[in-house]
Protein backbone atom coordinates (compact mmCIF):
# COMPACT_ATOMS: atom_id res chain seq x y z
CA UNK A 1 0.00 0.00 0.00
CA UNK A 2 1.15 3.53 -0.78
CA UNK A 3 0.20 4.79 2.70
CA UNK A 4 2.59 2.21 4.19
CA UNK A 5 5.35 3.44 1.87
CA UNK A 6 4.82 6.98 3.12
CA UNK A 7 4.80 5.80 6.72
CA UNK A 8 8.05 3.86 6.25
CA UNK A 9 9.71 6.65 4.29
CA UNK A 10 9.06 9.25 7.00
CA UNK A 11 9.04 7.00 10.08
CA UNK A 12 12.34 8.37 11.38
CA UNK A 13 11.44 11.98 10.65
CA UNK A 14 9.26 14.37 12.59
CA UNK A 15 5.76 13.93 11.19
CA UNK A 16 5.34 17.69 11.13
CA UNK A 17 5.37 18.57 7.43
CA UNK A 18 6.63 22.05 8.36
CA UNK A 19 10.05 20.51 9.04
CA UNK A 20 10.39 19.00 5.55
CA UNK A 21 12.34 20.70 2.76
CA UNK A 22 10.61 21.79 -0.46
CA UNK A 23 12.03 18.72 -2.25
CA UNK A 24 10.84 16.40 0.54
CA UNK A 25 7.34 17.95 0.42
CA UNK A 26 7.18 17.19 -3.31
CA UNK A 27 8.44 13.64 -2.74
CA UNK A 28 5.88 13.03 0.01
CA UNK A 29 2.91 14.45 -1.92
CA UNK A 30 3.94 12.29 -4.91
CA UNK A 31 3.74 9.16 -2.72
CA UNK A 32 0.47 10.24 -1.09
CA UNK A 33 -1.13 10.99 -4.47
CA UNK A 34 -0.74 7.31 -5.44
CA UNK A 35 -2.92 6.12 -2.54
CA UNK A 36 -5.72 3.80 -3.69
CA UNK A 37 -8.22 6.00 -1.84
CA UNK A 38 -7.36 9.66 -2.64
CA UNK A 39 -9.84 10.89 -0.01
CA UNK A 40 -7.85 9.27 2.82
CA UNK A 41 -4.86 11.51 2.08
CA UNK A 42 -6.81 14.57 0.94
CA UNK A 43 -6.39 16.47 4.23
CA UNK A 44 -2.62 15.96 4.39
CA UNK A 45 -2.13 16.84 0.72
CA UNK A 46 -4.01 20.11 1.26
CA UNK A 47 -1.79 20.84 4.27
CA UNK A 48 1.39 20.14 2.26
CA UNK A 49 0.05 22.33 -0.55
CA UNK A 50 -0.50 25.19 1.91
CA UNK A 51 3.03 24.85 3.38
CA UNK A 52 4.60 24.59 -0.10
CA UNK A 53 2.98 27.79 -1.44
CA UNK A 54 3.60 29.75 1.77
CA UNK A 55 7.33 29.04 1.38
CA UNK A 56 7.29 29.57 -2.38
CA UNK A 57 5.59 32.97 -2.06
CA UNK A 58 8.00 33.98 0.72
CA UNK A 59 10.94 33.09 -1.55
CA UNK A 60 9.44 35.13 -4.41
CA UNK A 61 8.94 38.17 -2.14
CA UNK A 62 12.53 37.90 -0.89
CA UNK A 63 13.80 37.86 -4.49
CA UNK A 64 11.69 40.93 -5.29
CA UNK A 65 13.18 42.76 -2.28
CA UNK A 66 16.72 41.86 -3.29
CA UNK A 67 16.21 43.27 -6.80
CA UNK A 68 15.24 46.66 -5.24
CA UNK A 69 12.52 47.34 -7.79
CA UNK A 70 14.55 46.28 -10.84
CA UNK A 71 12.63 44.68 -13.68
CA UNK A 72 13.22 40.92 -13.72
CA UNK A 73 11.95 38.21 -16.01
CA UNK A 74 9.14 36.22 -14.37
CA UNK A 75 9.86 32.50 -14.55
CA UNK A 76 7.97 29.64 -12.90
CA UNK A 77 10.10 27.85 -10.36
CA UNK A 78 11.00 24.28 -11.54
CA UNK A 79 9.88 22.96 -8.14
CA UNK A 80 6.50 24.66 -8.58
CA UNK A 81 6.08 23.09 -12.04
CA UNK A 82 6.82 19.64 -10.64
CA UNK A 83 4.46 20.21 -7.69
CA UNK A 84 1.65 21.41 -9.99
CA UNK A 85 2.00 18.33 -12.21
CA UNK A 86 1.69 16.01 -9.18
CA UNK A 87 -1.36 17.90 -7.81
CA UNK A 88 -2.98 17.82 -11.26
CA UNK A 89 -2.49 14.03 -11.45
CA UNK A 90 -3.83 13.63 -7.89
CA UNK A 91 -6.98 15.65 -8.68
CA UNK A 92 -7.55 13.60 -11.80
CA UNK A 93 -7.22 10.36 -9.80
CA UNK A 94 -9.52 11.78 -7.11
CA UNK A 95 -12.15 12.63 -9.73
CA UNK A 96 -11.95 9.14 -11.28
CA UNK A 97 -12.11 7.54 -7.83
CA UNK A 98 -15.24 9.54 -6.95
CA UNK A 99 -16.90 8.63 -10.25
CA UNK A 100 -16.12 4.94 -9.78
CA UNK A 101 -17.30 5.09 -6.16
CA UNK A 102 -20.59 6.73 -7.19
CA UNK A 103 -21.06 4.09 -9.86
CA UNK A 104 -20.38 1.25 -7.39
CA UNK A 105 -22.69 2.76 -4.76
CA UNK A 106 -25.53 3.10 -7.28
CA UNK A 107 -24.96 -0.48 -8.40
CA UNK A 108 -24.97 -1.66 -4.77
CA UNK A 109 -28.17 0.30 -4.10
CA UNK A 110 -29.85 -1.49 -6.98
CA UNK A 111 -28.67 -4.88 -5.64
CA UNK A 112 -29.91 -4.13 -2.10
CA UNK A 113 -33.29 -3.02 -3.41
CA UNK A 114 -33.51 -6.31 -5.31
CA UNK A 115 -32.59 -8.23 -2.12
CA UNK A 116 -35.35 -6.43 -0.17
CA UNK A 117 -37.82 -7.22 -2.93
CA UNK A 118 -36.80 -10.88 -2.92
CA UNK A 119 -37.15 -11.07 0.90
CA UNK A 120 -40.60 -9.55 0.48
CA UNK A 121 -41.50 -12.27 -2.04
CA UNK A 122 -40.29 -14.98 0.35
CA UNK A 123 -43.11 -14.03 2.72
CA UNK A 124 -45.55 -15.05 0.02
CA UNK A 125 -43.87 -18.30 -0.99
CA UNK A 126 -45.83 -21.52 -0.63
CA UNK A 127 -42.84 -23.86 -0.78
CA UNK A 128 -41.41 -25.61 2.28
CA UNK A 129 -40.13 -23.42 5.09
CA UNK A 130 -36.78 -25.12 4.94
CA UNK A 131 -36.24 -24.09 1.31
CA UNK A 132 -37.63 -20.64 1.99
CA UNK A 133 -35.32 -20.19 4.98
CA UNK A 134 -32.27 -21.27 2.97
CA UNK A 135 -33.16 -18.65 0.37
CA UNK A 136 -33.51 -16.11 3.17
CA UNK A 137 -30.07 -16.94 4.59
CA UNK A 138 -28.57 -16.66 1.12
CA UNK A 139 -30.15 -13.23 0.65
CA UNK A 140 -28.76 -12.11 4.04
CA UNK A 141 -25.30 -13.26 2.96
CA UNK A 142 -25.61 -11.31 -0.31
CA UNK A 143 -26.69 -8.24 1.67
CA UNK A 144 -23.63 -8.37 3.91
CA UNK A 145 -21.31 -8.91 0.96
CA UNK A 146 -22.73 -5.96 -0.94
CA UNK A 147 -20.69 -2.78 -0.48
CA UNK A 148 -21.63 0.79 0.42
CA UNK A 149 -24.58 2.64 -1.10
CA UNK A 150 -25.12 6.44 -1.46
CA UNK A 151 -25.24 7.95 2.04
CA UNK A 152 -28.50 9.76 1.22
CA UNK A 153 -30.20 6.36 0.73
CA UNK A 154 -28.44 4.48 3.53
CA UNK A 155 -30.88 4.99 6.42
CA UNK A 156 -34.00 4.47 4.34
CA UNK A 157 -32.69 1.23 2.77
CA UNK A 158 -31.53 -0.12 6.13
CA UNK A 159 -34.95 0.53 7.73
CA UNK A 160 -36.70 -1.06 4.75
CA UNK A 161 -34.42 -4.11 4.96
CA UNK A 162 -35.10 -4.67 8.67
CA UNK A 163 -38.81 -4.03 8.19
CA UNK A 164 -39.02 -6.83 5.62
CA UNK A 165 -36.89 -9.11 7.80
CA UNK A 166 -39.41 -8.60 10.63
CA UNK A 167 -42.23 -9.41 8.24
CA UNK A 168 -40.37 -12.53 7.15
CA UNK A 169 -39.89 -13.66 10.74
CA UNK A 170 -43.57 -13.07 11.42
CA UNK A 171 -44.25 -15.20 8.38
CA UNK A 172 -42.16 -18.11 9.64
CA UNK A 173 -43.03 -17.83 13.32
CA UNK A 174 -45.25 -20.84 12.89
CA UNK A 175 -42.04 -22.79 12.62
CA UNK A 176 -40.39 -22.07 15.97
CA UNK A 177 -37.46 -24.34 15.38
CA UNK A 178 -36.23 -22.49 12.28
CA UNK A 179 -36.91 -19.09 13.83
CA UNK A 180 -35.19 -19.96 17.12
CA UNK A 181 -32.21 -21.37 15.27
CA UNK A 182 -31.81 -18.12 13.34
CA UNK A 183 -32.25 -16.08 16.54
CA UNK A 184 -29.55 -18.18 18.16
CA UNK A 185 -27.15 -17.66 15.25
CA UNK A 186 -27.81 -13.92 15.28
CA UNK A 187 -27.24 -13.78 19.04
CA UNK A 188 -23.93 -15.63 18.68
CA UNK A 189 -22.87 -13.22 15.93
CA UNK A 190 -23.85 -10.17 17.99
CA UNK A 191 -22.06 -11.54 21.05
CA UNK A 192 -18.98 -12.00 18.87
CA UNK A 193 -19.31 -8.36 17.82
CA UNK A 194 -19.43 -7.39 21.52
CA UNK A 195 -16.34 -9.52 22.19
CA UNK A 196 -14.43 -7.78 19.39
CA UNK A 197 -15.62 -4.39 20.66
CA UNK A 198 -14.33 -5.28 24.14
CA UNK A 199 -10.87 -5.96 22.67
CA UNK A 200 -10.91 -2.48 21.15
CA UNK A 201 -10.91 -1.02 24.68
CA UNK A 202 -7.26 -2.12 24.90
CA UNK A 203 -6.33 -0.75 21.47
CA UNK A 204 -3.68 1.97 21.83
CA UNK A 205 -4.49 3.68 18.55
CA UNK A 206 -7.59 5.85 19.00
CA UNK A 207 -8.10 6.09 15.24
CA UNK A 208 -7.87 2.33 14.69
CA UNK A 209 -10.31 1.70 17.57
CA UNK A 210 -12.76 4.26 16.17
CA UNK A 211 -12.57 2.91 12.61
CA UNK A 212 -13.02 -0.71 13.70
CA UNK A 213 -15.91 0.26 15.99
CA UNK A 214 -17.70 1.85 13.02
CA UNK A 215 -17.14 -1.37 11.07
CA UNK A 216 -18.60 -3.38 13.97
CA UNK A 217 -21.66 -1.08 14.06
CA UNK A 218 -22.12 -1.60 10.33
CA UNK A 219 -21.82 -5.34 10.88
CA UNK A 220 -24.38 -5.14 13.72
CA UNK A 221 -26.85 -3.37 11.44
CA UNK A 222 -26.55 -6.20 8.92
CA UNK A 223 -27.10 -9.01 11.45
CA UNK A 224 -30.69 -10.14 11.86
CA UNK A 225 -32.74 -9.88 15.08
CA UNK A 226 -32.38 -12.00 18.21
CA UNK A 227 -35.05 -13.31 20.52
CA UNK A 228 -37.31 -10.42 21.52
CA UNK A 229 -36.58 -10.80 25.25
CA UNK A 230 -32.82 -10.46 24.58
CA UNK A 231 -32.91 -7.65 22.04
CA UNK A 232 -32.68 -4.73 24.46
CA UNK A 233 -30.05 -6.30 26.75
CA UNK A 234 -27.92 -7.39 23.77
CA UNK A 235 -28.05 -3.93 22.22
CA UNK A 236 -27.41 -2.27 25.60
CA UNK A 237 -24.32 -4.44 26.09
CA UNK A 238 -22.89 -3.37 22.73
CA UNK A 239 -23.98 0.21 23.35
CA UNK A 240 -22.15 0.39 26.72
CA UNK A 241 -18.93 -0.92 25.19
CA UNK A 242 -19.28 1.62 22.36
CA UNK A 243 -19.81 4.40 24.90
CA UNK A 244 -16.61 3.40 26.73
CA UNK A 245 -14.62 3.43 23.48
CA UNK A 246 -16.12 6.76 22.45
CA UNK A 247 -15.47 8.19 25.92
CA UNK A 248 -11.83 7.15 25.65
CA UNK A 249 -11.71 8.79 22.23
CA UNK A 250 -13.33 11.98 23.51
CA UNK A 251 -10.93 12.15 26.47
CA UNK A 252 -8.04 11.65 24.07
CA UNK A 253 -9.16 14.54 21.88
CA UNK A 254 -9.84 16.78 24.90
CA UNK A 255 -6.30 16.10 26.15
CA UNK A 256 -4.95 16.55 22.65
CA UNK A 257 -6.80 19.85 22.40
CA UNK A 258 -5.35 21.01 25.73
CA UNK A 259 -1.84 19.99 24.67
CA UNK A 260 -2.45 21.73 21.37
CA UNK A 261 -3.40 24.96 23.16
CA UNK A 262 -0.26 24.73 25.31
CA UNK A 263 1.92 24.31 22.22
CA UNK A 264 0.03 27.14 20.52
CA UNK A 265 0.86 29.37 23.49
CA UNK A 266 4.53 28.34 23.31
CA UNK A 267 4.64 28.99 19.56
CA UNK A 268 3.06 32.43 19.95
CA UNK A 269 5.51 33.22 22.77
CA UNK A 270 8.38 32.37 20.41
CA UNK A 271 6.86 34.63 17.73
CA UNK A 272 6.71 37.43 20.32
CA UNK A 273 10.37 36.79 21.20
CA UNK A 274 11.29 37.16 17.51
CA UNK A 275 9.38 40.46 17.37
CA UNK A 276 11.14 41.60 20.58
CA UNK A 277 14.54 41.14 18.91
CA UNK A 278 14.02 44.22 16.74
CA UNK A 279 12.94 46.36 19.70
CA UNK A 280 16.57 46.38 20.84
CA UNK A 281 19.09 48.89 19.50
CA UNK A 282 20.59 46.87 16.63
CA UNK A 283 22.84 49.44 14.96
CA UNK A 284 25.72 47.41 13.52
CA UNK A 285 26.41 44.50 11.20
CA UNK A 286 27.78 42.48 14.14
CA UNK A 287 24.59 43.02 16.18
CA UNK A 288 22.41 42.06 13.21
CA UNK A 289 24.44 38.87 12.71
CA UNK A 290 23.90 38.02 16.37
CA UNK A 291 20.16 38.84 16.20
CA UNK A 292 19.71 36.80 12.99
CA UNK A 293 21.37 33.78 14.61
CA UNK A 294 18.98 34.13 17.57
CA UNK A 295 16.03 34.49 15.18
CA UNK A 296 17.04 31.28 13.36
CA UNK A 297 17.32 29.45 16.69
CA UNK A 298 13.83 30.61 17.73
CA UNK A 299 12.44 29.64 14.31
CA UNK A 300 13.83 26.09 14.68
CA UNK A 301 12.47 25.91 18.24
CA UNK A 302 9.04 26.97 16.90
CA UNK A 303 9.13 24.23 14.26
CA UNK A 304 10.26 21.59 16.77
CA UNK A 305 6.96 22.01 18.67
CA UNK A 306 5.24 20.16 15.84
CA UNK A 307 1.98 20.57 13.96
CA UNK A 308 -1.17 21.91 15.63
CA UNK A 309 -4.86 21.48 14.89
CA UNK A 310 -5.88 23.16 11.65
CA UNK A 311 -7.39 26.34 13.14
CA UNK A 312 -4.59 26.73 15.71
CA UNK A 313 -1.92 25.92 13.14
CA UNK A 314 -3.26 28.69 10.92
CA UNK A 315 -3.10 31.25 13.75
CA UNK A 316 0.37 30.13 14.83
CA UNK A 317 1.70 30.34 11.27
CA UNK A 318 0.16 33.78 10.83
CA UNK A 319 1.85 35.08 13.99
CA UNK A 320 5.20 33.55 13.01
CA UNK A 321 5.06 34.97 9.47
CA UNK A 322 4.22 38.42 10.82
CA UNK A 323 7.08 38.24 13.34
CA UNK A 324 9.59 37.07 10.71
CA UNK A 325 8.34 39.68 8.24
CA UNK A 326 8.84 42.48 10.79
CA UNK A 327 12.30 41.15 11.68
CA UNK A 328 13.57 40.82 8.11
CA UNK A 329 11.87 44.03 6.92
CA UNK A 330 13.66 45.90 9.71
CA UNK A 331 16.92 44.14 8.87
CA UNK A 332 16.57 44.99 5.16
CA UNK A 333 15.78 48.61 6.02
CA UNK A 334 18.93 48.78 8.17
CA UNK A 335 21.17 47.45 5.40
CA UNK A 336 19.55 49.66 2.77
CA UNK A 337 20.15 52.69 5.01
CA UNK A 338 23.69 51.50 5.71
CA UNK A 339 24.27 51.15 1.98
CA UNK A 340 23.04 54.73 1.42
CA UNK A 341 25.16 55.99 4.35
CA UNK A 342 28.19 54.14 3.01
CA UNK A 343 27.71 55.79 -0.36
CA UNK A 344 27.74 59.24 1.27
CA UNK A 345 30.77 58.31 3.37
CA UNK A 346 32.66 57.07 0.29
CA UNK A 347 31.81 60.30 -1.55
CA UNK A 348 33.06 62.38 1.42
CA UNK A 349 36.22 60.31 1.74
CA UNK A 350 36.89 60.65 -1.98
CA UNK A 351 36.57 64.45 -1.69
CA UNK A 352 39.02 64.46 1.27
CA UNK A 353 41.42 62.24 -0.70
CA UNK A 354 41.36 64.47 -3.80
CA UNK A 355 42.12 67.60 -1.71
CA UNK A 356 45.05 65.78 -0.06
CA UNK A 357 46.38 64.66 -3.45
CA UNK A 358 46.13 68.22 -4.74
CA UNK A 359 48.22 69.76 -1.90
CA UNK A 360 50.65 66.89 -1.24
CA UNK A 361 53.50 68.61 -3.17
CA UNK A 362 53.07 72.07 -1.56
CA UNK A 363 56.15 73.49 0.20
CA UNK A 364 54.24 75.89 2.41
CA UNK A 365 54.97 73.47 5.19
CA UNK A 366 53.05 75.01 8.08
CA UNK A 367 49.91 75.91 6.17
CA UNK A 368 49.78 72.58 4.32
CA UNK A 369 50.42 70.69 7.57
CA UNK A 370 47.40 72.37 9.13
CA UNK A 371 45.30 71.57 6.06
CA UNK A 372 46.28 67.88 6.06
CA UNK A 373 45.76 67.53 9.81
CA UNK A 374 42.30 68.98 9.37
CA UNK A 375 41.61 66.50 6.54
CA UNK A 376 42.80 63.62 8.73
CA UNK A 377 40.38 64.71 11.46
CA UNK A 378 37.55 64.88 8.91
CA UNK A 379 38.48 61.37 7.73
CA UNK A 380 38.17 60.01 11.27
CA UNK A 381 34.83 61.76 11.71
CA UNK A 382 33.56 60.25 8.44
CA UNK A 383 33.31 56.86 10.23
CA UNK A 384 35.68 54.87 8.08
CA UNK A 385 34.01 51.65 6.84
CA UNK A 386 35.67 48.41 5.90
CA UNK A 387 35.30 47.52 2.26
CA UNK A 388 37.33 47.36 -0.93
CA UNK A 389 36.30 50.80 -2.23
CA UNK A 390 36.85 52.57 1.09
CA UNK A 391 40.19 50.79 1.57
CA UNK A 392 41.38 51.89 -1.87
CA UNK A 393 40.53 55.54 -1.08
CA UNK A 394 42.21 55.22 2.32
CA UNK A 395 45.40 53.97 0.67
CA UNK A 396 45.37 56.95 -1.72
CA UNK A 397 44.74 59.42 1.12
CA UNK A 398 47.45 57.86 3.27
CA UNK A 399 49.92 57.97 0.38
CA UNK A 400 49.18 61.68 -0.24
CA UNK A 401 49.60 62.51 3.47
CA UNK A 402 52.79 60.45 3.75
CA UNK A 403 54.21 62.07 0.63
CA UNK A 404 53.83 65.56 2.11
CA UNK A 405 55.00 64.77 5.65
CA UNK A 406 58.02 62.82 4.42
CA UNK A 407 58.99 65.79 2.23
CA UNK A 408 58.44 68.11 5.20
CA UNK A 409 60.62 65.90 7.40
CA UNK A 410 63.39 65.90 4.81
CA UNK A 411 63.11 69.69 4.51
CA UNK A 412 63.44 70.35 8.24
CA UNK A 413 66.16 67.77 8.54
CA UNK A 414 68.16 69.73 5.98
CA UNK A 415 67.46 72.98 7.87
CA UNK A 416 68.63 71.35 11.08
CA UNK A 417 71.77 70.22 9.36
CA UNK A 418 72.45 73.79 8.15
CA UNK A 419 71.72 75.19 11.61
CA UNK A 420 74.27 72.86 13.19
CA UNK A 421 76.82 73.85 10.54
CA UNK A 422 76.07 77.57 11.04
CA UNK A 423 76.35 77.27 14.81
CA UNK A 424 79.72 75.59 14.51
CA UNK A 425 80.99 78.23 12.03
CA UNK A 426 79.75 81.06 14.24
CA UNK A 427 81.50 79.55 17.23
CA UNK A 428 84.70 79.48 15.15
CA UNK A 429 84.28 83.17 14.26
CA UNK A 430 83.69 84.08 17.92
CA UNK A 431 86.78 82.13 18.88
CA UNK A 432 88.82 83.92 16.18
CA UNK A 433 87.59 87.31 17.42
CA UNK A 434 88.47 86.38 20.98
CA UNK A 435 91.95 85.41 19.83
CA UNK A 436 92.31 88.55 17.66
CA UNK A 437 94.81 91.03 19.21
CA UNK A 438 94.44 94.71 18.46
CA UNK A 439 97.54 96.22 16.85
CA UNK A 440 98.88 99.73 16.71
CA UNK A 441 97.25 100.12 13.31
CA UNK A 442 93.65 100.94 14.19
CA UNK A 443 92.50 101.15 10.55
CA UNK A 444 93.78 97.69 9.87
CA UNK A 445 92.08 96.42 13.02
CA UNK A 446 88.79 98.04 12.02
CA UNK A 447 88.92 96.39 8.60
CA UNK A 448 89.57 93.05 10.24
CA UNK A 449 86.56 93.48 12.52
CA UNK A 450 84.41 94.46 9.51
CA UNK A 451 85.52 91.28 7.78
CA UNK A 452 84.38 89.29 10.82
CA UNK A 453 80.98 90.99 10.60
CA UNK A 454 80.68 90.22 6.87
CA UNK A 455 81.47 86.53 7.47
CA UNK A 456 78.98 86.47 10.34
CA UNK A 457 76.27 87.99 8.16
CA UNK A 458 76.63 85.22 5.60
CA UNK A 459 75.66 82.64 8.23
CA UNK A 460 71.84 83.11 8.41
CA UNK A 461 70.41 79.72 9.44
CA UNK A 462 70.43 79.10 13.16
CA UNK A 463 67.92 77.56 15.54
CA UNK A 464 66.06 79.72 18.05
CA UNK A 465 67.64 77.78 20.90
CA UNK A 466 71.08 78.97 19.72
CA UNK A 467 70.16 82.58 18.95
CA UNK A 468 72.04 83.71 22.06
CA UNK A 469 75.28 83.26 20.10
CA UNK A 470 74.45 86.45 18.15
CA UNK A 471 74.55 88.40 21.41
CA UNK A 472 77.90 86.88 22.23
CA UNK A 473 79.24 87.94 18.83
CA UNK A 474 78.07 91.55 19.10
CA UNK A 475 79.27 91.81 22.71
CA UNK A 476 82.79 90.78 21.67
CA UNK A 477 82.81 92.97 18.52
CA UNK A 478 81.54 95.98 20.46
CA UNK A 479 84.15 95.34 23.13
CA UNK A 480 86.91 95.43 20.48
CA UNK A 481 85.48 98.56 18.87
CA UNK A 482 85.30 100.30 22.24
CA UNK A 483 88.98 99.62 22.77
CA UNK A 484 89.61 101.27 19.42
CA UNK A 485 87.63 104.27 20.61
CA UNK A 486 84.81 103.64 18.11
CA UNK A 487 81.17 103.89 19.11
CA UNK A 488 79.15 100.66 18.56
pLDDT one-digit tens code per residue, 330-371: 889 888 888 888 888 888 988 998 999 999 899 898 999 999
Tally of domains within the chain: 1
User: Over 50: is that where the pLDDT of 102 sits?
Assistant: yes
User: Over 80: is that where the pLDDT of 316 sits?
Assistant: yes
> Residue 241 and residue 150: Cα distance in Å, rounded?
28
User: Over 60: is that where the pLDDT of 10 sits?
Assistant: no
pLDDT at res. 293: 92
Q: What is the mean pLDDT of the chain?
A: 83
Does residue 472 belong to any structural domain of this protein? yes
pLDDT one-digit tens code per residue, 43-96: 888 888 888 888 888 777 777 666 554 545 556 788 888 888 888 888 888 888
The answer to whether the CB of 226 falls within 8 A of the CB of 187 is yes
Does residue 401 belong to any structural domain of this protein? yes
**Most distant CA atoms of the chain, gap in Å:** 190
pLDDT one-digit tens code per residue, 129-171: 778 878 888 888 888 888 888 888 888 888 888 888 878 877 7
pLDDT at res. 385: 63
> Residue 432 and residue 101: Cα distance in Å, rounded?
134
The answer to whether the CB of 447 falls within 8 A of the CB of 441 is no
Residue 284 φ/ψ, nearest 5 degrees: -150, 160
Q: Is 270 left (phi over 0), alpha (psi -120 to 50) or beta?
A: alpha
pLDDT at res. 1: 41
Enumerate residues 6+ apart whose C-beta is below 8 A from 8: none
Q: Which of 38-42, 73-77, 227-231, 321-325 has the highest mean pLDDT?
A: 321-325
Enumerate residues 6+ apart whose C-beta is below 8 A from 220: 190, 193, 238
User: Over 50: is that where the pLDDT of 473 sits?
Assistant: yes
User: Over 70: is that where the pLDDT of 264 sits?
Assistant: yes
Does residue 471 belong to any structural domain of this protein? yes
Does residue 450 belong to any structural domain of this protein? yes
| Closest among 258, 254, 263 to 316, alpha carbons compared | 263
Buried b (16+ CB within 10 A) or exposed e, 343-368: eebbebbbebbebbeeebeeeeeeeb
High-pLDDT (> 90) share of the chain, %: 17
Query: Which structural domain, as residue segments, surrounds residue 398?
Result: 365-483
Lowest mean pLDDT among 7-11, 108-112, 471-475: 7-11
Does residue 382 belong to any structural domain of this protein? yes
This prediction has a pTM of 0.51
pLDDT at res. 270: 92
User: Over 90: is that where the pLDDT of 191 sits?
Assistant: yes
> Residue 450 and residue 444: Cα distance in Å, rounded?
10
**Residue predicted with more confidence, 240 or 169:** 240
Does residue 20 belong to any structural domain of this protein? no
> Residue 428 and residue 364: Cα distance in Å, rounded?
33
Q: Is 68 left (phi over 0), alpha (psi -120 to 50) or beta?
A: left
The answer to whether the CB of 201 falls within 8 A of the CB of 247 is no
> Residue 237 and residue 226: Cα distance in Å, rounded?
14
Does residue 426 belong to any structural domain of this protein? yes
Does residue 446 belong to any structural domain of this protein? yes
Amino acid sequence: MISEQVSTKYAKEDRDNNLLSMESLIEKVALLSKNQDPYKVSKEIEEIKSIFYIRLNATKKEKEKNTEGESIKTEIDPLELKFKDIIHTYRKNKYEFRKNKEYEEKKNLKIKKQIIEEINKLSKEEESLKVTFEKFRSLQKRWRETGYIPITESNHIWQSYHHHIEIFYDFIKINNDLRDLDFKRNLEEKNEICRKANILLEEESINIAHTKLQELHEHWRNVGPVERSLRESTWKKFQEISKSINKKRNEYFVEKKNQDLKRLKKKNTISSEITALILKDINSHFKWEKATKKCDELHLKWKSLGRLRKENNKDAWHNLREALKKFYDTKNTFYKQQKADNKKIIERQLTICKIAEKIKNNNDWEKTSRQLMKLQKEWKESKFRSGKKSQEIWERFKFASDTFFKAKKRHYKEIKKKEVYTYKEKKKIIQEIKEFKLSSDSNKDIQKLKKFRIEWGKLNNISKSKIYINDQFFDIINSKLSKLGIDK
